[in-house]
Amino acid sequence: MDKNMRDIIDSLAFIREHMFTKEEGAELRAELHTFRDEMRAELSSIRRDLNELTEKVDNITGYRKEIDHALERIAAIEKRLGINKRIAA
């Protein structure tokens, strides 16, 4: 057996040893969905709190800018996680 063939066999053996099983993949997907749902709930809660705070301090200079910045950051996180806004702002 030549070196190239041995390298291919070794690479395939490595891949086989480190592959997910279907069950492991399903468990990971379930964990990721749970994490995503938790993140969605937490971000929605923060968004609601910020919107309520906005209403209370809308006339105070400076706070609105900070709140807008926080909302932009939340939107960026939601976009990165692929979360669509489902709660009215």
The 10s digit of each residue's pLDDT in 6-23 is 999 999 999 988 888 889
Reply yes or no on whether the pLDDT at 58 is more than 80: no
Q: Indicate the number of domains in the chain.
A: 1
Work out the number of other CB atoms within 10 angstroms of the CB of residue 70: 16
| Interatomic CA distance for residues 71 and 61, integer angstroms | 17
Residue 67 lies in a domain: yes
Tell the residue number behind the tokens 């910020």, with chain if given: 50
Residue 29 lies in a domain: yes
Q: What is the mean pLDDT of residues 58-82?
A: 83
Residue 79 token pair: 């976009």
Domain that holds residue 32: 3-81
Packing angle, helices 63-81 and 22-57, rounded to 10: 160
Reply yes or no on whether the pLDDT at 35 is more than 70: yes
pLDDT interval class at 86 (50, 70, 90): low
Residue 62 token pair: 């400076």
* Structure-model confidence comparison of residues 85 and 89, the more confident one: 85
Tell the residue number behind the tokens 């480190």, with chain if given: 18
